[in-house]
Amino acid sequence: MHEFDDIRPYRDDEVNWVVNGLLEDLELSRALGKFHYPRAYRWFPGPVARLVQSGLRQQLQQASKIHDVQVVIEKYLDKLIETTTAGLIQNGLEHLSPSMAYLFISNHRDITMDPALVNYMLYHHGFDTLQIAIGDNLLKRPFLSKLMKLNKSFIVKRGLQGRDKLAASKQLSGYINHCIRTGQNVWIAQREGRAKDGIDKTESAIIKMLHMAGRDSDKLSLPAAINALNIVPVAISYEYDPCDVAKAAELHAVATQGRFIKDENSDVQSILTGMIGSKGVVHVSFGSPLQLPADAGAEQVVEAIDSQIVRNYRLHASNLAALELLQPEAVDPERMQPLCCTDPLKLVAKRQEFVSRLQSAPAHLHPYILQMYANPLLRRIALDDTSARP
């Protein structure tokens, strides 16, 4: 399948030379040294980097397949989950079959942790690991690019225009369809870029892209092509977003200056913050495979995905506490506390925990932080009200 060579992940027969290159990459050893031994690294960066490099060599010297590399990555992910979360919970996988291939479309809050946690849950419940869609803006650091492609990530080309954009969309659609037809699970975010304001909304352009391969090769209608992909909406919720202050600063810049300008380290910093920052309880909810009527259009597909994500999103006390501060008149405790799975006896402590976190951020960012935490609860209430109408 040479038409996908410039976007596909590494194959098993490429693992040895890629791993050998990573073992000699000092930038990778330094990054891992900062993560594992932050205090020691500040004083002894060189020795710590060499220690990490030696440890990596021991862990990866026998790696000859993608699976071998993912086993090593899993150990790092185990540590992240243990040290940065207050619990990782899932529901919905009991209704899916490990013998099927699914296209998991999830909301997007964190650059790397979103697909990593979906992958983790699948792996520990007997499913094959994912092919993961990542934007080419994340490939500026060679070691990061290699690690992601070793972890079965494929590339989404961004920033293109005109014919180049159309060709890239067709290639991406073809690759995703190829993966599903050959029995490989796929993860893709519901939108380009993270939902910084807490509003999870699927972009219709993604649905139209997914239709391209089925339309061009098999002359399938949009609903037939979408049904063939076995799309499962996934809702990922973090009690606390490690990047909430950075996201709020970006929203503030856009509101006050009209734009936010990234530097070359912005994405890498977001990745690191999202990985090592405190997240509280994290919940991953797997929905039901979409089955669309024959007359469905792109907007109806968007609505079907969004409805599942909003309804299945696990609300936390942080969402309720934010709404209490932002719009106290809108809070109905009898209705909202059960939605947020909040034990009334624990709510006082949880509320103070959120307030303390908020107060540690610059005051001018508070409205943006409150809105990003309140929006998931507001959207759930709106969805419930709409569903209740005759």
> Which amino acid, 169?
S
* Average pLDDT over the chain, rounded to an integer: 92
* pLDDT over 90, % of the chain: 72
Residue 288 sits in the same domain as residue 361 = no
Q: What is the predicted pLDDT for the residue at 381?
A: 94
Whose CA is closest to 209, among 171, 153, 182?
171
Mean pLDDT of 359-367: 97
Q: What is the predicted pLDDT for the residue at 1?
A: 59
The separation between the first and the last C-alpha atoms of the chain, rounded to the nearest angstrom, is 51
Residue 96 sits in the same domain as residue 148 = yes
Residue 157 sits in the same domain as residue 84 = yes
Q: What is the predicted pLDDT for the residue at 390?
A: 66
Mean pLDDT of 280-301: 96
Distances (CA, A) of 57 to 63, 76, 293: 10, 15, 53
Q: How far apart are CA 236 and CA 202, in angstroms?
A: 14
Q: What is the predicted pLDDT for the residue at 62?
A: 82
Sign, CA torsion 63/14/11/73 = positive
Residue 275 sits in the same domain as residue 341 = no
Whose CA is closest to 377, among 343, 333, 347?
333
Task: State how far Cα 159 lies from the chain centre.
Answer: 20
Residue 205 sits in the same domain as residue 349 = no
Q: How far apart are CA 90 and CA 235, in angstroms?
A: 10
Q: What is the predicted pLDDT for the residue at 345?
A: 78
Lowest mean pLDDT among 90-94, 184-188, 219-223, 271-275: 271-275
Residue 236 sits in the same domain as residue 129 = yes
Residue 235 sits in the same domain as residue 373 = no
Residue 101 sits in the same domain as residue 153 = yes
Mean pLDDT of 10-27: 90
Q: How far apart are CA 375 and CA 168, in angstroms?
A: 33
How do residues 122-174 score in pLDDT, each as one tens digit? 999 999 999 999 998 888 788 888 999 999 999 999 989 999 999 999 999 99
Residue 113 sits in the same domain as residue 162 = yes
Domains identified in the chain, total number: 2
The secondary structure element, H or E, covering residue 134 is: strand 131-135
Residue 308 sits in the same domain as residue 284 = yes
Domain that holds residue 324: 318-388
Q: How far apart are CA 105 and CA 202, in angstroms?
A: 9
Task: Judge contact between 208 and 235, C-beta under 8 A.
Answer: no
Residue 274 sits in the same domain as residue 348 = no
Q: What is the predicted pLDDT for the residue at 30?
A: 86
